[in-house]
Amino acid sequence: MAAKCYDCGLKYGDVGWIEAIIPDKVWNFISPTGDEGGILCVTCISRRLAEKGLRRIPVWFCGIEPLKAQWGDPSVMVQRTWEPKLIKRIVLEKEKMRQIDNEKQ
**pLDDT, tens digit, for every residue of 55-95?**
888 888 776 444 445 544 544 444 445 566 666 777 777 77
Does residue 15 fall inside a structural domain?
A: no
Does residue 34 fall inside a structural domain?
A: yes
Does residue 55 fall inside a structural domain?
A: yes
pLDDT at 101 over 70: yes
SS (H, E, C) 41-75: CHHHHHHHHHHCCCCCCEEEECCCCCEEEECCCCC
Does residue 75 fall inside a structural domain?
A: yes
Does residue 8 fall inside a structural domain?
A: no
pLDDT at 97 over 80: no
First vs last Cα of the chain: how many Å apart? 34
For the segment 7-32, the average pLDDT, to the nearest whole number, is 89
Domains in the chain, number: 1
Structure confidence at residue 86 (pLDDT): 66
Q: Containing domain of residue 39, as a range?
A: 20-104
Does residue 52 fall inside a structural domain?
A: yes
pTM: 0.58
Does residue 12 fall inside a structural domain?
A: no
Q: Which residue pairs, CB below 8 angstroms and at least 24 apart, start in 65-73?
A: 71/46
CB-CB contact of 66 with 82 (8 Å):
no
Does residue 2 fall inside a structural domain?
A: no
Structure confidence at residue 1 (pLDDT): 60
